[in-house]
Amino acid sequence: MRLTQRLLVQSAVVATLLVAIILGAVEWRVRHRLELQDTVAVGMAQPADRASLEAAADEALLGAIRNDVLIASGVALVVALLLARALAGQVTRPMQELRDMAQDLAGGDLTARPSRSISGGEVGDLADSLRRVAEQMETRLWEMQSEEALLVALTESLNEGVVAVDARKRVVRINERGRQLLNLRQPLPFPANELPQEPQLQEALQLVLSGAPPIVREIQLAGRTLALTV
């Protein structure tokens, strides 16, 4: 059942319960009073006395009905609130579970999954969507970790130094051979301006970051001649 339909049904149940309790109290009071009047009327001798007593009885009946309606309304309200709380829990509990799962995913726990008991309606559709998202994120993370491990293995196996600089001019990757050639030990990432301040190196880096085609040249660094490709 859809969430909207479920809420409508629950509201109808609560409203029906309220009306039933109030009408039941009123009907009971009227029946009780009519039975009492019939009993009293049998022993009446004078019509005048009977009329005055009936008028007084009617006033008492109206007062009793008012009291019964107030009491019944209070009882019905308490019962309806308890029932509404129980019915609302059927909706809020799954939503709270999905909220907690989303927070776990945001915190990095990609193993979080909604329980299989959440099914059907909009909430069930949301649970299925979150489950698929979590599975896709976990699969993508595994693929990225595998690609990262492969890339590290490839770069570390080279005899050449490899340095990767992103668009924000940060060194985001450098292999061990690159650290040896450039005499760098900073942890990643670090600003590109911490690379050796050799003019040709810095110039080539700035040109390529500005959109120039690849640059190949030789540079002098710490008394050594290095082949540079940017």
Instruction: Tell me the per-residue pLDDT of 72-104, one tens digit each, with 9 for 90 and over.
Output: 677 777 777 777 677 666 777 778 888 888 888
Say if 15 falls within a structural domain. yes
Q: How far apart are CA 230 and CA 33, in angstroms?
A: 102
Residues 179 and 87 in one domain: no
Residues 7 and 83 in one domain: yes
Q: Does 40 score more than 70 pLDDT?
A: no
pLDDT for 126-160, tens place per residue?
888 888 888 888 889 889 989 988 988 888 888 88
Residues 96 and 10 in one domain: yes
Q: Is 72 in contact with 21 (CB distance < 8 Å)? A: yes
Say if 142 falls within a structural domain. no
Q: How far apart are CA 158 and CA 7, in angstroms?
A: 65
Residues 100 and 162 in one domain: no
Q: How confident is the model at residue 38 (pLDDT cuts 50, 70, 90)?
A: low
Range of the domain at 215: 158-229
Looking at 66, 86, 104, the residue that finishes a domain is 104
Residues 94 and 183 in one domain: no
Say if 84 falls within a structural domain. yes
Looking at 104, 119, 138, the residue that finishes a domain is 104
Say if 73 falls within a structural domain. yes
Note the helical H segments in 43-120: 47-106
Give all strands of the β-sheet with 170-174 in edge-to-edge order: 163-165, 170-174, 190-191
Give all strands (DSSP E) within the chain, no chain letters: 163-165, 170-174, 190-191, 216-221, 224-229
pLDDT given for residue 53 in this prediction: 60
Amino acid at 227: A
Q: State the CB neighbour count (10 A cutoff) for residue 118.
A: 21
Amino acid at 55: A
Please state the domain count of the chain: 2
Say if 76 falls within a structural domain. yes
Residues 83 and 168 in one domain: no
Say if 152 falls within a structural domain. no
Q: How confident is the model at residue 45 (pLDDT cuts 50, 70, 90)?
A: very low
Say if 100 falls within a structural domain. yes
Looking at 39, 73, 104, the residue that finishes a domain is 104
Say if 186 falls within a structural domain. yes
Residues 93 and 166 in one domain: no
Average pLDDT value for residue range 166-179? 90
Residues 22 and 96 in one domain: yes
